[in-house]
Amino acid sequence: MVKLSEKTIKNGFKQYLKDLKRRKNIKNYYLKRIKGGKSYNAVLVDSLLIKILMSLLFFIFLIFKTKHFIISIIGALSFFSLALYASYYIKSNRYDKKVRDVNKDIVKKKIIKEINYFTSDEFIQYVKEILENYYDASFEKCGKDIDLIGKKEDEIWAVKCFKIPLEERISKKDIKDFKDKVDEIGIERGIVVTNSYFIEELEDEYEGVMEFVDFDKLIFMIKEIGEYPSKEEIEDIIINRYNENKRKVSEKKGKIFSKTKVIKYLFLSFSLYILSKMTIYRSYYIVMAFISLSLAIVSIFYEYFYKIVMKDIEE
């Protein structure tokens, strides 16, 4: 039998706590998005309190009806268990659907952010790689008015890429100008790709001649070619956001609760207490002295417990 070393057990326990915290932070993020800002703990407490209250009311009802304490207790506990199971079953299905919606939004924002950093040439290259993988075809860069030319389904296709702000729309004029250029070089079919959307009537007007790829279809293509972020990658994005928010909060806390300010808070507390003996506003100075002393105690707690003990657990 292999005897586990103390270090192995300690590392295993740390990893378990780290994984547990990761799962809780991810679930907390989803619940805040789904429940309008409520944290995991708040949602859990609210749900339990409602079920406990309903079970208590059911217990009181049974007491009045049966006049039997044991039967009422059993009935109330059964009701509580049934409520927990039903709530879990219903909410888990809703939760899974909401999580998928949140994940779509996370990926959408990630892709928007990536595209926003692209230059026009980089966006064309980005579209080129997507089209080649999606259509299993080859596209070559062309000139200014026509960005790409390639062969798809035994036909020559011209491609135009529009990188514009998401709130703007591709107009009839944009498509007409592109169609005129395509006609000039004797190509009959075209693909128009944008990181935004088209005005509604364009697809009907150019049906069979132009293929329109808006932002939603671009995401669909990314998913089809296997470039869509996995569940683990999406969770990594969530954890990175959590860590970034935590870092910002920690920086703000550090400005108030820091080792260098402990002495200042203690000195201020002592000074205010002395002043309370020398002025008619004694209560005011005592309260302020107490607040300063509290800040000193919190600073010590933050510096030595949170930064040392909690950081060791997180690592």
Identify the pLDDT of residue 125. 94
* Domain ranges, ordered by start, for the chain: 6-116, 120-224, 257-314
Per-residue pLDDT for the chain (315 aa), expressed as one digit of tens each? 445 566 677 777 777 787 788 888 888 888 888 877 666 666 677 777 888 888 888 888 888 888 788 888 888 888 888 888 887 777 777 878 888 999 999 999 999 999 999 999 999 999 999 999 999 989 998 877 899 999 888 889 999 999 999 999 999 999 999 999 988 888 888 999 999 999 888 888 888 888 999 999 999 999 999 999 888 999 999 888 888 777 766 665 555 555 666 667 677 777 777 877 777 777 777 778 778 777 777 776 666 555 544 444 444
Alpha helices in the chain (DSSP H): 6-34, 40-66, 69-117, 120-135, 172-184, 202-205, 215-224, 231-256, 259-276, 282-301, 311-314
* pLDDT per residue as tens digits for the range 262-274: 667 677 777 777 8
Q: Which amino acid is at 20?
A: L
Rounding to the nearest 10 degrees, give the CA dihedral for residues 42, 43, 46, 50.
-170
**What's residue 26's pLDDT?**
86
pTM over 0.85: no
Q: What are phi and psi of 280, to 5 degrees?
A: -75, -20
Encoding tokens for residue 103? Answer: 């994940």
Choose among 249, 270, 268, 257: nearest CA to 298: 257
Cβ proximity of 225 and 133 under 8 Å: yes
120-224 in CATH: which number?
A: 3.40.1350.10
As a whole number of Å, the CA-based R_g of the chain is 31
Find all residues with CB under 8 Å of 35, minimum gap 6, and list them: 42, 43
- Helix (H/G/I), strand (E/B), else coil: 208: coil
How high does pLDDT run on average in the chain? 81
Can you read off the two tokens belonging to residue 108?
Answer: 């959408």
Reduced to 3 states (helix: H, G, I; strand: E, B; else coil), residue 211 is strand
Phi, psi of 195 (to 5 degrees): -90, 10
The per-residue pLDDT for range 196-205, each reduced to its tens digit, is 999 888 888 8
CB atoms within 10 A of CB 201: 9
Determine phi and psi for 187, rounding to 5 degrees: -100, 135
pLDDT of 309:
46
